[in-house]
Amino acid sequence: MTTSASDLLKLMEERTSIRHYDSTADLSKEDLSQILETAIKAPTAWNLQHWKFMVFHSDSSKERLLPIAYNQNQIVEASAVIAVLGDLEADKNTDSVYGPLVEAGHMSKEIKETLAGQIHGAYTNPVYARDAAFSNASLGAMQLMLAAKAKGFDTCAIGGFNGQEFMKEFQVSERFVPVMLISVGKAAKPAHKSARFSLDQATEWL
Protein backbone atom coordinates (compact mmCIF):
# COMPACT_ATOMS: atom_id res chain seq x y z
CA MET A 1 0.00 0.00 0.00
CA THR A 2 1.40 3.41 -0.95
CA THR A 3 1.85 6.16 1.59
CA SER A 4 -0.88 8.28 -0.02
CA ALA A 5 -3.35 5.39 0.15
CA SER A 6 -2.47 4.82 3.80
CA ASP A 7 -2.97 8.52 4.51
CA LEU A 8 -6.37 8.49 2.81
CA LEU A 9 -7.57 5.47 4.79
CA LYS A 10 -6.29 7.03 8.02
CA LEU A 11 -8.10 10.27 7.23
CA MET A 12 -11.34 8.40 6.59
CA GLU A 13 -10.94 6.51 9.86
CA GLU A 14 -10.28 9.70 11.81
CA ARG A 15 -13.08 11.85 10.41
CA THR A 16 -15.76 12.33 13.06
CA SER A 17 -18.83 14.52 13.49
CA ILE A 18 -17.83 17.62 15.45
CA ARG A 19 -20.57 19.67 17.12
CA HIS A 20 -18.51 22.18 19.11
CA TYR A 21 -16.23 24.57 17.23
CA ASP A 22 -13.63 27.20 18.00
CA SER A 23 -15.51 30.31 16.96
CA THR A 24 -12.25 32.26 16.63
CA ALA A 25 -10.73 29.88 14.06
CA ASP A 26 -10.24 31.29 10.58
CA LEU A 27 -11.35 29.52 7.44
CA SER A 28 -10.45 31.56 4.39
CA LYS A 29 -12.49 31.82 1.21
CA GLU A 30 -9.49 30.31 -0.58
CA ASP A 31 -9.51 27.20 1.64
CA LEU A 32 -13.28 26.90 1.31
CA SER A 33 -13.02 27.17 -2.45
CA GLN A 34 -10.38 24.45 -2.56
CA ILE A 35 -12.59 22.17 -0.45
CA LEU A 36 -15.53 22.80 -2.77
CA GLU A 37 -13.39 22.25 -5.87
CA THR A 38 -12.68 18.76 -4.53
CA ALA A 39 -16.33 18.18 -3.65
CA ILE A 40 -17.51 18.84 -7.19
CA LYS A 41 -15.20 16.12 -8.50
CA ALA A 42 -17.45 13.50 -6.88
CA PRO A 43 -19.20 11.02 -9.18
CA THR A 44 -22.82 11.45 -10.23
CA ALA A 45 -25.28 9.52 -12.39
CA TRP A 46 -24.70 10.41 -16.05
CA ASN A 47 -22.27 13.04 -14.74
CA LEU A 48 -25.21 15.42 -14.33
CA GLN A 49 -23.70 16.91 -11.15
CA HIS A 50 -26.93 17.08 -9.15
CA TRP A 51 -25.83 19.68 -6.60
CA LYS A 52 -25.67 23.27 -5.61
CA PHE A 53 -23.67 24.45 -2.61
CA MET A 54 -24.75 27.53 -0.66
CA VAL A 55 -21.89 28.82 1.50
CA PHE A 56 -22.69 30.60 4.76
CA HIS A 57 -19.38 32.22 5.59
CA SER A 58 -20.25 35.58 7.10
CA ASP A 59 -21.47 35.95 10.66
CA SER A 60 -24.63 37.65 9.43
CA SER A 61 -25.56 34.80 7.07
CA LYS A 62 -25.02 32.20 9.81
CA GLU A 63 -27.22 34.23 12.17
CA ARG A 64 -30.00 34.12 9.56
CA LEU A 65 -29.55 30.37 9.29
CA LEU A 66 -29.49 29.75 13.06
CA PRO A 67 -33.27 29.69 13.79
CA ILE A 68 -33.90 27.58 10.67
CA ALA A 69 -31.46 25.02 12.10
CA TYR A 70 -33.32 24.99 15.42
CA ASN A 71 -30.74 27.22 17.13
CA GLN A 72 -27.96 24.65 17.13
CA ASN A 73 -24.85 26.45 18.38
CA GLN A 74 -22.59 24.84 15.82
CA ILE A 75 -24.25 26.95 13.12
CA VAL A 76 -22.70 30.15 14.50
CA GLU A 77 -19.64 28.62 16.18
CA ALA A 78 -18.39 26.91 13.00
CA SER A 79 -16.26 28.95 10.64
CA ALA A 80 -18.70 28.21 7.82
CA VAL A 81 -21.82 26.21 7.08
CA ILE A 82 -22.45 24.76 3.65
CA ALA A 83 -25.95 23.88 2.55
CA VAL A 84 -26.01 21.00 0.10
CA LEU A 85 -28.92 21.18 -2.34
CA GLY A 86 -30.00 18.45 -4.74
CA ASP A 87 -31.08 19.25 -8.30
CA LEU A 88 -34.55 17.89 -9.10
CA GLU A 89 -34.12 18.90 -12.76
CA ALA A 90 -30.58 17.67 -13.37
CA ASP A 91 -31.69 16.42 -16.78
CA LYS A 92 -31.50 20.06 -17.89
CA ASN A 93 -27.72 19.77 -17.48
CA THR A 94 -27.46 17.26 -20.34
CA ASP A 95 -26.39 19.67 -23.07
CA SER A 96 -23.95 21.50 -20.79
CA VAL A 97 -22.32 18.22 -19.77
CA TYR A 98 -22.18 16.45 -23.13
CA GLY A 99 -22.14 19.30 -25.63
CA PRO A 100 -18.47 20.22 -25.01
CA LEU A 101 -17.48 16.54 -25.35
CA VAL A 102 -19.13 16.36 -28.76
CA GLU A 103 -17.52 19.62 -29.86
CA ALA A 104 -14.09 18.37 -28.75
CA GLY A 105 -14.53 15.09 -30.60
CA HIS A 106 -14.57 12.96 -27.47
CA MET A 107 -18.14 11.78 -28.04
CA SER A 108 -20.26 11.33 -31.13
CA LYS A 109 -23.49 13.25 -31.56
CA GLU A 110 -25.33 9.91 -31.81
CA ILE A 111 -24.08 8.73 -28.42
CA LYS A 112 -25.03 12.10 -26.91
CA GLU A 113 -28.55 11.78 -28.28
CA THR A 114 -28.83 8.21 -26.96
CA LEU A 115 -27.77 9.34 -23.48
CA ALA A 116 -30.12 12.32 -23.65
CA GLY A 117 -33.01 9.94 -24.41
CA GLN A 118 -32.14 7.73 -21.45
CA ILE A 119 -31.89 10.71 -19.14
CA HIS A 120 -35.16 12.21 -20.35
CA GLY A 121 -36.91 8.88 -19.84
CA ALA A 122 -35.63 8.60 -16.27
CA TYR A 123 -36.69 12.14 -15.40
CA THR A 124 -40.28 11.61 -16.44
CA ASN A 125 -40.52 9.83 -13.08
CA PRO A 126 -40.55 12.43 -10.25
CA VAL A 127 -39.68 9.77 -7.68
CA TYR A 128 -36.48 8.98 -9.57
CA ALA A 129 -35.66 12.69 -9.86
CA ARG A 130 -35.98 13.22 -6.12
CA ASP A 131 -34.06 10.06 -5.22
CA ALA A 132 -31.29 11.03 -7.64
CA ALA A 133 -31.11 14.55 -6.22
CA PHE A 134 -30.56 13.21 -2.71
CA SER A 135 -28.21 10.34 -3.51
CA ASN A 136 -25.96 12.22 -5.91
CA ALA A 137 -25.77 15.42 -3.85
CA SER A 138 -24.84 13.24 -0.87
CA LEU A 139 -21.85 11.90 -2.77
CA GLY A 140 -20.61 15.47 -3.14
CA ALA A 141 -21.31 16.12 0.55
CA MET A 142 -19.18 13.19 1.69
CA GLN A 143 -16.34 14.23 -0.60
CA LEU A 144 -16.59 17.75 0.81
CA MET A 145 -16.23 16.47 4.38
CA LEU A 146 -13.21 14.36 3.49
CA ALA A 147 -11.59 17.28 1.65
CA ALA A 148 -12.15 19.50 4.69
CA LYS A 149 -10.53 16.90 6.95
CA ALA A 150 -7.56 16.63 4.59
CA LYS A 151 -7.05 20.40 4.96
CA GLY A 152 -7.21 20.20 8.76
CA PHE A 153 -10.83 21.20 9.31
CA ASP A 154 -13.63 19.32 11.05
CA THR A 155 -17.21 18.86 9.90
CA CYS A 156 -20.64 17.64 10.85
CA ALA A 157 -23.49 16.71 8.53
CA ILE A 158 -26.70 18.24 9.87
CA GLY A 159 -30.15 16.96 8.99
CA GLY A 160 -31.92 18.91 11.70
CA PHE A 161 -33.25 22.02 9.99
CA ASN A 162 -36.51 23.28 8.53
CA GLY A 163 -36.26 22.74 4.79
CA GLN A 164 -39.34 24.77 3.93
CA GLU A 165 -38.16 27.75 5.95
CA PHE A 166 -34.72 27.43 4.40
CA MET A 167 -36.20 27.60 0.90
CA LYS A 168 -38.28 30.64 1.82
CA GLU A 169 -35.65 32.61 3.73
CA PHE A 170 -32.94 32.21 1.11
CA GLN A 171 -35.24 32.31 -1.93
CA VAL A 172 -34.11 28.95 -3.26
CA SER A 173 -35.56 27.86 -6.61
CA GLU A 174 -38.03 24.96 -6.48
CA ARG A 175 -35.66 23.21 -8.87
CA PHE A 176 -33.56 22.37 -5.79
CA VAL A 177 -34.25 20.46 -2.59
CA PRO A 178 -32.23 21.00 0.60
CA VAL A 179 -30.40 17.78 1.46
CA MET A 180 -28.22 18.68 4.44
CA LEU A 181 -26.16 21.36 6.12
CA ILE A 182 -22.45 20.81 6.80
CA SER A 183 -20.66 22.76 9.52
CA VAL A 184 -16.95 23.33 8.89
CA GLY A 185 -14.31 24.60 11.30
CA LYS A 186 -11.83 23.71 14.01
CA ALA A 187 -12.99 21.43 16.82
CA ALA A 188 -13.29 22.97 20.28
CA LYS A 189 -14.16 19.60 21.80
CA PRO A 190 -13.60 16.07 20.51
CA ALA A 191 -16.52 14.15 19.08
CA HIS A 192 -18.52 12.09 21.51
CA LYS A 193 -17.96 8.36 21.44
CA SER A 194 -20.14 6.40 19.05
CA ALA A 195 -20.71 2.71 18.42
CA ARG A 196 -20.49 1.10 15.01
CA PHE A 197 -22.07 -2.10 13.76
CA SER A 198 -19.60 -4.89 13.11
CA LEU A 199 -18.75 -5.75 9.52
CA ASP A 200 -20.81 -8.94 9.88
CA GLN A 201 -23.87 -6.89 10.90
CA ALA A 202 -23.42 -4.37 8.09
CA THR A 203 -22.77 -6.75 5.22
CA GLU A 204 -24.30 -9.70 3.46
CA TRP A 205 -22.10 -11.72 1.12
CA LEU A 206 -23.76 -13.50 -1.78
Alpha-carbon separation of residue 103 from 96, 153, 200 (angstroms): 11, 40, 49
Q: What is the pLDDT of residues 95-119, one digit of tens each?
A: 999 999 999 999 999 999 999 999 9
Residue closest to 137 by CA, chosen among 39, 69, 67, 60: 39
The yes or no reply on domain 17-90+130-192 and CATH 3.30.365.10 is: no
- For the cut 70, the answer to whether the pLDDT of residue 3 exceeds it is no
Q: Where are the chain's structural domains?
A: 17-90+130-192
Q: Cα torsion for 86, 92, 96, 98, to the nearest 10°?
A: 100
> pTM of this prediction?
0.95
In which region does residue 17 sit, left (phi positive, over 0), alpha (psi from -120 to 50) or beta (all else)?
beta
Q: Tell me the pLDDT tens digit for each residue of 129-144.
A: 999 999 999 999 999 9
